[in-house]
Amino acid sequence: MPRQDFLMELNQQVFEMLITPEGRLRSRCLLLSLLLLAAWEEGSGQVRYSVPEEAKHGTFVGLIAQDLGLELTELVPRLFRVASKGRGDLLEVNLQNGILFVNSRIDREELCGRSLECSIHLEVIVNRPLQVFHVEVEVKDINDNPPVFPVKEQRVLIYESRLPDSLFPLEGASDADVGSNSVLTYKLSSNENFALDVKTNSDDSTQIGLVLRKSLDREEAPEHNLFLMATDQGKPELTATVQLLVTVLDVNDNAPSFGQSEYEAKIFENSDNGTIVMRLNASDRDEGDNGEFSYSFSSLVPSMVSNQFRIDPNTGEIVIQGNLDFENINLYKIRIDATDKGHPPMTGHCTILVKVLDKNDNVPQIALTSLSLPVREDAHFGTVIALISVSDLDSGANGQVTCSLTPHVPFKLVSTFKNYYSLVLDSALDRESVSNYEVVVTARDGGSPSLSATASVSVEVADVNDNAPAFAHPEYTVFVRENNPPGCHIFTVSARDADAQENALVSYSLVERRVGERTLSSYVSVHAESGKVYALQPLDHEELELLQFQVSARDAGVPPLGSNVTLQVFVLDENDNAPAVLLPRPGGGAGALNQLVARSVGAGHVVAKVRAVDADSGYNAWLSYELQPVAGGAHSPFRVGLYTGEISTTRALDEADAPRHRLLVLVKDHGEPALTATATVLLSLEDSGQAPKASSRASTGAAGAEAALVDVNVYLIIAICAVSSLLVLTLLLYTALRCSAPPSEGACGPGKPTLVCSSAVGSWSYSQQRRQRVCSGEGPPKTDLMAFSPSLPACPVVVDMGELQDLNGDRLSKVSLNFHNYQLIFILKCYNCFRSVYIYTLFF
């Protein structure tokens, strides 16, 4: 027995036991059944019941409280309630006896449609504690729905010419029930002309049809009335009947006919809508309705034809209703049917060939393929850059296309085949002049009027390493103060490469050589990427006045290209040397100058001279002399020349003056800050009457010294005049050479350094004779002499430059001066020569 039936029967027995006295006698037997049911439900996990559809209100379903193990007395306190998802109140529970019963009409077809299984799912909820039970009630189908045909009467039209065994489909009936209640059988009323054909499809559906047993005669029986009955398999059986009305149609035995089977028409493309292509004229030999016909496109005509043309069904006129395009379709094959109004209708056929004539309505098309871009600037003439093909959808002269290029481009078109061209290089390329060409290809057809199209080809010129890095000037002059900190930046070289990408990546390096006994790289270095030049060690003006070297700039191309620039670094003097006092005779005492002075000398008489030198140059070597005050505030009868160092009397000496005078002379240069040195002069006064022999000797010596001093002054004046004349002559010669040279950037113009040294005093200070090294890499070491004037700046360098930073700072950078080496060396040689003459004159 199925589980649902067992539950239903068991629940019915329990119900009878509770409401009838006889049922109590069976309680012992049912007790065992209840125990088995409880064990069954415990194993299944939920309670299941079954109920037939269309059950009346109050129909017993099951003892739900007992089956769920709940006491009747606790249903109300625990708020016993039943919920059904979307099923409304079809089932309800009596809280007094715990019986589940039918509350309202249950229609299985409404609940589950044609589904084979139909169940109502209930949720039983009790509180204290909260528990949820799931109950499933199966709704069983009953045969409560008869078969139904879709229509009350089915009409079947059959021509009298149809042959026996012809099949005519019929609409079958349907049954809303399921299972055996929905299985239908069909039966046709008895007749001699038709039989019923019933087939079962693969999906278990039934297909019925009417089979013609023998030929029909419309004149004998124009109609046949049949009845089709459908019966289901339910208990009891239910049936349905539909009337079949078979109408026999007359036969039309003459079809309309055309004058010829094929026609031809021509029309230009883009013709206006409504333009008549052709007018047909057919005929039919039948009379009446069978002789009346209408025109139409054959069902075999594709949609593209029916979209472009339409035909008047009465007149047979074929007109245009769409846009005709020769390039799309130039020939239409239209099948025309002329169908009469007979029964059955008969159709005549003909074919129309519509030829579309071309117009010049399509512009040429340009296709670019196989672009070989970018093009190297050193590409050879005839290099193929692109393949170009042109086409025109028109025909004849309208489709003949010629191509041309925009003028003034280094390319040309070469025809390789019909409508195929090659874009080739026709002249040399230079990426630095033009890096990209916009080449416009124009295609023009031969129509009237002609149509044209253009296409643009962007030809990028690829770089080739054909340009070496270039400096703005071939030479640069840099001024750097001596005693610079090691590693200081003194200048930045910059070269520009007209190439691109790695061909324009410039790296810098020194052109190594030896400077004296040392290598150039021990003095300076250059940063490979930035071009910054650094001094690796402090420079000494007294040791090195000019450092001349070359910096090389090379690109990263293959092969690499490079160029050099010359840097002339002038080391400017700093006041880093104090004055040094010279003692003319080694026997003059320890650091003091001793001199005998006669008391009889008058005012202004030169009694001694302090000589000092300074290793610096310029203002830093211009010395001045001062006489320090005497201790005790006493007024000294002597004074010292500010720039000559000559010690002379301020008044005539007398007997009251002390026999010995100690003078302290301060020697100071004009540097910033000024450096000093002191010289001690011991003057001894002696009377003219004492020690005749010594006096005579002193007189003779004084006379000789005075005569020698006169001779020295004469020689000094002659030397000064000669040196000044030679200097003026040299400057005139230098100016003439500069102005007569071929014009060049900065020639005979501002920007050339000019050394101006002059003196407005009668006596000259001199610098210590020393050997200065001018590191230009050529020639022997040279000596120098700088002459000054107290009323003029000390040897200023007059420079017209765009890039000169503060000379008072720690460094000089970026001095862009273009000295001519050979002229500078010439001036230095002349200057050293003049200085040697002058020093010789001073000492001898």
Q: Is the per-residue pLDDT at 747 higher than 60?
A: no
Q: Report if pTM > 0.95.
A: no
Least trusted range by pLDDT, from 3-7, 459-463, 512-516, 671-675: 3-7
Per the CB < 8 A criterion, the answer to whether 644 and 636 are in contact is no
Q: Which residues in 406-531 belong to E strands, given as ranges?
A: 411-417, 420-425, 436-445, 452-462, 470-471, 475-481, 488-492, 495-496, 506-510, 514-515, 518-519, 524-526
Quick one: CA torsion of 630, 632, 635, 636, rounded to 10 degrees? -30
Q: Report percent pLDDT > 70 for the chain.
A: 77
pLDDT band for position 3 (cuts 50, 70, 90): very low
Per the CB < 8 A criterion, the answer to whether 286 and 375 are in contact is no
Task: Give the H/E segment covering residue 361.
Answer: none
Burial environment of residue 492 by CB neighbours within 10 A (0 to 12, 13 to 18, 19 or more): middle
Nearest to 156 by CA among 222, 246, 251, 248: 246
Task: Please give the pLDDT value at position 585.
Answer: 55
Handedness of CA 355, 357, 362, 364 (dihedral sign): positive
Query: Region 661-682: what's the mean pLDDT?
Result: 91
Q: What is the residue-wise DSSP string for 30-65?
A: HHHHHHHHHHHHHHHSSEEEEEETTPPTT-EEE-HH
Handedness of CA 23, 24, 26, 29 (dihedral sign): positive
Per the CB < 8 A criterion, the answer to whether 343 and 364 are in contact is no
For residue 811, the number of C-alpha atoms closer than 13 Å in the C-beta half-sphere is 18
For 228-237, what is each residue's pLDDT tens digit? Answer: 999 888 888 8
Ramachandran bin of 594, using left for φ above 0, alpha for ψ from -120 to 50, beta for the remaining angles:
beta
For 193-228, what is each residue's pLDDT tens digit? Answer: 999 998 887 767 788 999 999 888 877 888 999 999
Alpha carbon 185 to chain centroid, angstroms: 78
Distances 110 to 90, 114, 369 between C-alpha atoms, Å: 12, 9, 70
List, in order, residues 6 or more apart from 79 with CB less than 8 Å away.
Answer: 125, 126, 127, 128
For 470-486, what is each residue's pLDDT tens digit? Answer: 999 999 999 999 999 99
For 590-613, what is each residue's pLDDT tens digit? Answer: 468 888 888 888 898 999 999 999
Structure-model confidence comparison of residues 691 and 217, the more confident one? 217
- Length of the chain equals 844
pLDDT band for position 689 (cuts 50, 70, 90): low
Query: Region 391-412: what's the mean pLDDT?
Result: 89
Least trusted range by pLDDT, from 16-30, 182-196, 409-423, 788-802: 788-802
Per the CB < 8 A criterion, the answer to whether 247 and 207 are in contact is no
For 133-147, what is each residue's pLDDT tens digit? Answer: 888 888 887 878 889
- Quote the CA–CA distance of 350 and 261 in Å, as a whole number: 5
Three-class DSSP category at 309: strand
Task: Please give the pLDDT value at position 828.
Answer: 52
Query: Region 755-784: what's the mean pLDDT?
Result: 36
Task: Please give the pLDDT value at position 774.
Answer: 37
Q: What is the residue-wise DSSP string for 499-533?
A: S-GGGG-EEEEE---EETTEEGGGTEEE-TTT-EE
Main-chain phi, psi angles of 634, to 5 degrees? -70, 145
Least trusted range by pLDDT, from 602-616, 730-744, 793-807: 793-807
Cα angle 238-243-244, degrees, rounded to a multiple of 5 = 130
b/e map 306-316, b = 16+ CB within 10 Å: eebbbbeeeeb
Calculate the average pLDDT of the chain. Answer: 78
Least trusted range by pLDDT, from 4-13, 103-112, 526-535, 646-655: 4-13
Structure-block tokens of residue 571: 């080391």
Nearest to 95 by CA among 70, 72, 67: 72
- Quote the CA–CA distance of 651 and 686 in Å, as a whole number: 16
Structure-model confidence comparison of residues 794 and 733, the more confident one? 733
Per the CB < 8 A criterion, the answer to whether 598 and 519 are in contact is no
Main-chain phi, psi angles of 501, to 5 degrees? 55, -135
Task: Please give the pLDDT value at position 812.
Answer: 32
Per the CB < 8 A criterion, the answer to whether 146 and 237 are in contact is no
Beta strands across the sheet bearing 81-84: 47-52, 131-140, 119-126, 81-84
Q: Is the per-residue pLDDT at 637 higher than 60?
A: yes
Quick one: CA torsion of 731, 732, 738, 742, rounded to 10 degrees? -170
Q: Is the per-residue pLDDT at 318 higher than 90?
A: yes
Neighbours of 736 (CB within 10 A): 10
Per the CB < 8 A criterion, the answer to whether 49 and 135 are in contact is yes
How far separated are the first and last CA of the chain, in Å rounded?
A: 156
- Quote the CA–CA distance of 46 and 258 in Å, as a whole number: 82
